[in-house]
């Protein structure tokens, strides 16, 4: 049984219509102000930032996005005999799960946009319920349990990653025999460091990304082709 770890970044979901953040046409390059909407301190301190954040969530392309060829290829590999697949994703869109990769095999490093969490009592509920309240006229819907501030269950700038999820991701990276970093700039820590851990553990490291990354020198193979064709081909050819 070959353990294949796949670290997926925003580039995996661009073919599904979800823009990346740091690419040439990325969200942060087009609108530097947008970063405030996902910065924890700004969000907690400023009701106007929260109102704009809810509008951003309401119009997010995530809700109409469907898994693309890359997501489907990962799910297909997971079903193939002889392979144990673990997905470590920096994405919050849930498309790996929608493509058919079992939820227990997907580690969401940066949380999920499909759930909301109360910043006071930590109660969780579906994002759809909160967006329905926004649609009905609440511009900053409070927690129904305690009145606290609600946010998406994503890791905002200024927040720590979930230690349990990160610990499991590190264990997977160290134990992997094949480690594929796909659609990620490998600039955001600690996610990027998983590539180095995999290399130190003896994994065959493959980087599939349009632009150079800080970890290219550790890679056994670098693929600069479009992810939608390159990743399915790479996964089909795994022996």
Q: Which residues are catalytic?
A: 110
Dist. CA 206–CA 223, nearest whole Å: 8
- Whether the CB-CB separation of 176 and 58 falls below 8 Å is answered with no
Instruction: Answer yes or no: are the C-beta atoms of 89 and 187 closer than 8 Å.
Output: no
Residue 206, strand partner residues: 180, 221
CA separation, residue 26 to residues 30, 35, 76, 194 (Å): 6, 12, 29, 23
Could you tell me which residues come within 8 angstroms of residue 209 by beta carbon, excluding any fewer than 6 positions away?
Answer: 9, 11, 181, 182, 183, 184, 185, 186, 222, 223, 224
Question: How do beta strands 221-223 and 2-8 pair?
Answer: unpaired
């Amino acid at each position: 049984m070959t353990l294949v770890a796949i670290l997926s970044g925003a580039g995996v979901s661009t073919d599904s219509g979800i823009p990346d953040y740091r690419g040439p046409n990325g969200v942060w390059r087009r609108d530097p102000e947008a970063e405030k909407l996902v910065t924890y301190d700004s969000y907690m301190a400023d009701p106007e930032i929260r109102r704009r954040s809810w509008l951003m969530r309401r119009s997010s392309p995530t809700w109409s996005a469907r898994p693309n060829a890359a997501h489907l290829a990962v799910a297909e590999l997971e079903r193939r005999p002889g392979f144990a697949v673990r997905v470590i994703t920096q994405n919050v869109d849930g498309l790996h799960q929608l493509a058919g990769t079992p939820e227990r095999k997907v580690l969401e490093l940066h949380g999920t946009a499909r759930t909301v969490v109360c910043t006071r009592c930590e109660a969780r509920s579906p994002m759809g319920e909160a967006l329905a309240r926004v649609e009905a006229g609440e511009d900053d819907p409070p927690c129904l349990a305690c009145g606290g501030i609600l946010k998406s269950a994503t890791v905002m700038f200024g927040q720590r990653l979930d230690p349990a999820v990160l610990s499991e991701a590190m264990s997977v990276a160290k134990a992997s025999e094949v480690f594929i970093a796909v659609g990620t700039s490998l600039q955001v820590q600690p996610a990027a460091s998983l590539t180095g851990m995999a290399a130190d553990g003896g994994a065959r490291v493959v980087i599939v990304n349009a632009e150079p990354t800080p970890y290219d020198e550790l890679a056994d193979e670098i693929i600069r082709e479009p992810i939608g064709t390159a990743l399915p081909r790479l996964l089909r050819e795994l022996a």
